[in-house]
Structure 1
Amino acid sequence: MIYLLSWYAQDFLQVLGTGTALVPEVFLLTLVVFSVFRPERGSEILWAAFFGGVLWDLRWVGFPGITSLVYGITLTAMQLFWNSLPVSGRTVPLFGASLLGASIPIALTRIFLSGHREGGVFTAWLLQQSYMLPLLLLACALYAWRLKNIDV
């Protein structure tokens, strides 16, 4: 249910910001956070990424499957990266940096599919990432709280 709510929140933000800015990747951020918090639900999260990506493509981009592909590759790479770290190395700053790194492939894909060219690419990407910063900080605070309260 949380996956659907995060997809809908991202879609609602896209409707509000159509033509002015690219919205932050709320859905992908939710999927990555849940894949780190609950690694045993990996296949469920991957299926949610697939269906969410197809729905997003059918709703906005018009090229079905590209967002699903990027979501799947990003989630798989994030899982491999996060699980290769020792538990003592899974710090809050590294969590934040990996979330930021996970948002880069889909952000660049969306920027190029939305028609931004040349000098506007960096500006559009920077604007989208600045919109995502509060969500990133909230996810880092949630991870810090989890580290403090749950003995991993």
Structure 2
Amino acid sequence: MTLALIWLLQDILQVLATETLIVPDLFLMGLVSFGASRRFEPQSLLWSAFAGGLLWDARWTGLLGFSALLYVAAIWLFLALWGRIPQAGRSPILLGFVALGLHLAVGLGHFFSWGDAATEPLFVNQQILALPVVVLVGWWGCRGEKDGE
């Protein structure tokens, strides 16, 4: 339910910001933070990523399934990498850098699919606006592991 609300928030913000900027990928950051805090099973996260990507494509893009592919690949990579890091090495800063890398990778995938060089400033603004979100993901995602959840 929380991921659906995050997706809806991102959609509403994108509607309000259309033609001005591209909002940060809040849904992807929500998936990453839930994956780090182990609040969901990995299969649930992957299915949520798939469903959220399909909904995003149906709402905003003409290439149905592309965002789903990007989200599932990003979450699968995140779960594989995060699972290999020892518990003692998992920190909010590391999670923030991983989340930023995933946000950049998914953003680049979308940017190259647009095929328009005029959208470059929108892409750069999206990545800059994602920085506070990444900080929150680092803090909130590691909070569950530190609390012993």
Q: TM-score, normalised by structure 1?
A: 0.88
How far did residue 40 of structure 1 move? 5.5
Aligned residues: CA RMSD:
1.9
How far 1:133 moved relative to its partner?
A: 1.6
Q: Are the counterparts in 1 of residues 36 and 82 from structure 2 also a CA contact under 8 Å?
A: yes
Matched, 1:58 2:48: no
Quick one: structure 1 residues 151 and 3, their matched pair in 2 at CA, closer, same or farther if it must change by over 3 Å?
closer
- Secondary structure of 2:41's aligned partner: helix
The superposition leaves residues 53-80 of structure 1 with CA deviations (integer Å, 9 ceiling, x where unpaired) of: 0111011011100000000100000011
Q: Do the aligned partners of 1:61 and 1:113 also contact (CA within 8 Å) in 2?
A: no
Q: Secondary structure at the match of 2:20?
A: coil
C-alpha distance after superposition, 1:3-38 (max 9, x if no partner): 110110110111011111111000000011111111
Q: How many residues align?
A: 149
Within 2, Cα distance between the matches of 1:9 and 1:62?
Answer: 21
2:49 is matched with 49
In structure 2, the partner of 1:68 is 68
Structure 1 runs, 4 residues or longer, greater than 4 Å off:
none
Q: Structure 2 unaligned runs (5+)?
A: none
Percent of aligned pairs with the same amino acid: 34
For 1:2-151, what aligned pairs fall within 5 Å after superposition? 2-38=2-38, 41-117=41-117, 121=120, 123-143=121-141, 145-146=143-144, 148=146, 150-151=147-148
C-alpha change, 1:143 and 1:31, in structure 2 (3 Å) is closer
Equivalent pair of 2:94/2:138 in contact (CA under 8 Å): no
Higher relative contact order at CA 8 Å, sep ≥6: structure 1 or structure 2? 2
Question: Structure 1 stretches of 5 or more lacking a match?
Answer: none
Using structure 2 for the length normalisation, give the TM-score: 0.90
